[in-house]
Amino acid sequence: MQLSTRHLLGIKNLTKEDISLILSTAEQFKEVLQRPVKKVPSLRDVTIVNLFYENSTRTRFSFELAEKRLSADTINFAASSSSAAKGETLLDTVNNILSMKVDMVVMRHSASGAPHFLSQHIPAAIVNAGDGINEHPTQALLDAFSIKEKTGGLEGRKVAIIGDIMHSRVAQSNIYLLNKMGAKVTVCGPPTLIPKYIREALGVEVSYNLRETLEWCDVANVLRIQLERQNQVLFSSLREYSIAYGINRQLLDSLQKEIVIMHPGPINRGVELDSDVADSKQSIILQQVENGVAVRMAVLYLLANREN
């Protein structure tokens, strides 16, 4: 059994079997992370470069830790402190790094499609760690892993994705993945933050009513308002957004059932989630972070270069 692809550019071009293979491999890596020695020698002879053209804490640490737990050698690159600041192009930077015999590239970039571009020009395996407003495949995989772990499966599960759908690569990757695995998806948020033809294009339900959406779902994946990607005013104020689409304790307690709360981080406390929701026992936000390492280990392990 192997993945159908050499790179992980997005969930869009993965098959259902690919996703299942990554998730089941991640389960075994989660066991590794509970051992006294949380490390295996699998990628001892593999060198990985982490190219981060955009800020990141969680994802960068998570990838780095996953690489170290697999015994790979790693080098880190942050655009702000490198030759990119002197005007070097992406392709030049990567080719320079590859000439130092690097096998895999983990890349985050603010331009959608940057890893796809790279994959057509270089021989190394590429893992997309987030590209602009396109995809963030490992986040969707770790979200799916966490939903499966918490609720027992994905098939038929009702998942609401709430917030800034328009600018969210997490939303897009999650939608692709959940659809492929047979879950039902509703996106919810203010009309200005939900793409107009998303129902037709991606096959999800759309709701502008938070309470109705929460009544319907088993799992609520709550997103951050991506102010850094918005170049126009799409809602009047964060306070108003919070009143209409923020989740607080009172709202959760008034529901007929107990739903699971997820968030890819970073949380803007008091905007999309109140602290007493984010820190409650319904929330699996920190489990998501924990599972992220196991899922990324599985992705790197399955994509590691083969001789033939």
Nearer to another protein among residue 192 and residue 305 (C-beta): 305
Decide if residue 16 touches another protein (CB under 8 A): no
37-96 positions binding another protein, by CB under 8 A = 37, 39-43, 45
In whole angstroms, the minimum distance from the beta carbon of 33 to another protein comes to 12
In whole angstroms, the minimum distance from the beta carbon of 29 to another protein comes to 8
Decide if residue 101 touches another protein (CB under 8 A): no
In whole angstroms, the minimum distance from the beta carbon of 295 to another protein comes to 14
214-253 positions binding another protein, by CB under 8 A = none
Nearer to another protein among residue 41 and residue 152 (C-beta): 41
Entry field: residues in the chain? 308
17-36 positions binding another protein, by CB under 8 A = 21, 24-25, 28, 31-32, 35-36
Among 57, 99, 123, 307, binds another protein (CB under 8 A): 307
- The span from the CA of 111 to the CA of 130, in Å, is 9
Among 55, 254, 275, 305, binds another protein (CB under 8 A): 305
In whole angstroms, the minimum distance from the beta carbon of 297 to another protein comes to 9
In whole angstroms, the minimum distance from the beta carbon of 247 to another protein comes to 37
Per CB under 8 A, residues contacting another protein are 1-2, 21, 24-25, 28, 31-32, 35-37, 39-43, 45, 301-302, 304-308
